[in-house]
Amino acid sequence: MLAAIAFPDFDPVAFSIGPLAVRWYGLAYIAAFIFANWYMKRLVTTPKLWPGTVPTLAREQVDDLFFWTMLGVILGGRLGYVLFYEPLRYLAAPLDIFKVWDGGMSFHGGFLGVVAACLIWGRQQGVRLDRLLDLGAAAVPVGLGFGRLANFINGELYGRVTDVPWAVAFPTAGGARHPSQLYEMALEGVALFIAVNVAVWAYRALARPGRASAIFAMGYAASRMAVETVREPDAFLGTFGGFLTMGMILSLPLFAVGVWLWGRSGRTP
């Protein structure tokens, strides 16, 4: 076994209330939703971010949109995992789909769920889809960072065997491995939040519908594909063609959508 940093003795359960165990992963989702709700309200109540136009929503509408997007994240994330990663397993035992406590959420499925939720709600309110997605793009990276930190605490979704000095010996994996959860937290959480919000606050990206969404889509896809090169593939899937993982395959069309949104936003007056 290669030399490695011992994995900290984290307890996946943050605290318990009687028989109810509250896990760090669940708290990550709660923190992400609270931050997103607060931050989107701040964005729509800051006039200087909308030069030559008007804010997408009134502050009061954010709570309504938040409810729809929360449903989109949860339902889309779960169904995405079922369809993209283990369809045969859930086809044989469909009731297991509802066992969300056993894990199994897909970012790409959650993303599609949010798009569907924003599309439905936006049509009801007369608000463009790209405007709504721009608000989410500015707020969502913080939640992604929290989620990856929770993955690290749980000792799951670790990287491949390596001899880098910062390799970690995870208790459920053999050998010294890349702490790929922390890589994703840094890229998908911290770096992506900075990139999107520099565009929003310094370059008024919200005045060009689709610009913030484009940065998010391209940034997330590029980050995910980069980390997938050192992340341990799912045992039940492996790799395709000896190199491509499911995360890479799902990120390629997301990157293409980001490129399309960027070009489209540049043509918007």
% of the chain surpassing 90 pLDDT: 71
Q: Is the pTM of this model over 0.75?
A: yes
CB neighbour class for 266 (10 Å; exposed up to 12, middle 13-18, buried from 19): exposed
Query: Does 148 have pLDDT greater than 70?
Result: yes
Query: CB–CB of 214/258 below 8 Å?
Result: yes
Rounded Cα distance between 84 and 86, Å, is 6
Strand, coil or helix: what is 147? helix
Q: Quick one: pLDDT at residue 200?
A: 97
User: Smallest Cα–Cα separation from 28: which of 199, 148, 139?
Assistant: 148
Q: Tokens for 22?
A: 């509250």
Query: CB–CB of 184/136 below 8 Å?
Result: no
- Give, in order, the Cα–Cα distances in Å from 34 to each of 9, 27, 62, 140: 28, 10, 12, 11
Strand, coil or helix: what is 255? helix
Radius of gyration of the chain (CA): 19
Question: Which DSSP letter does residue 233 get?
Answer: P
Tens digits of residue pLDDT in 118-146: 999 999 999 999 999 999 999 999 999 99
Q: Tokens for 14?
A: 């943050």
Report the interhelical angle of 192-202 vs 211-228 (nearest 10°): 160
